[in-house]
Amino acid sequence: MNQVQAMQGMVPVQGLTPMQQMTVPEITMHGALEWSKALFEKLGWMLLANSHGNVMKIENYKMSIMNCINAIKNKKKEIMSRKKYY
């Protein structure tokens, strides 16, 4: 993690292919809830995009879902590691 990522609260994403390697912002539980709600609302638009053959929007949506999942997994690991010390 470089200094800019550390200053912005970015954490590395684990378990992605080299093409998918990126960082996701550190997330709060409220942020995770809002993010997942927004993704669910966007699902209807993605069904419409799929019917029109817009593959790029679908791929971007999939990446957004993966980023959300990985941010939640990282938050879970962070919370579980804190519990070990209490």
Most confident of 16-20, 29-33, 55-59: 55-59
Query: Has residue 18 been placed in a domain?
Result: no
Provide the token pair at 56.
């790029």
H-helix or E-strand spanning residue 38: helix 29-51
Instruction: Tell me if 4 is assigned to some domain.
Output: no
Give me the number of domains the chain comprises: 1
Residue 5: inside a domain: no
What is the per-residue pLDDT across 41-81, written as a single tens digit (0 to 9) for each?
A: 999 999 999 999 999 999 999 999 998 898 888 888 888 88
Q: What is the pLDDT of residue 1?
A: 45
Q: Which class for 10: exposed (0-12), middle (13-18), buried (19 or more C-beta within 10 A)? A: middle
Q: What is the pLDDT of residue 82?
A: 80
**Residue 10: φ, ψ to 5°:** -90, 145
H/E element, 36: helix 29-51
Residue 15 lies in a domain: no
Neighbours of 82 (CB within 10 A): 9
Is residue 11, in this structure, part of any structural domain at all?
A: no
Rounded Cα gap, residues 73 and 70, in angstroms: 5
Q: 2 lies in a domain?
A: no
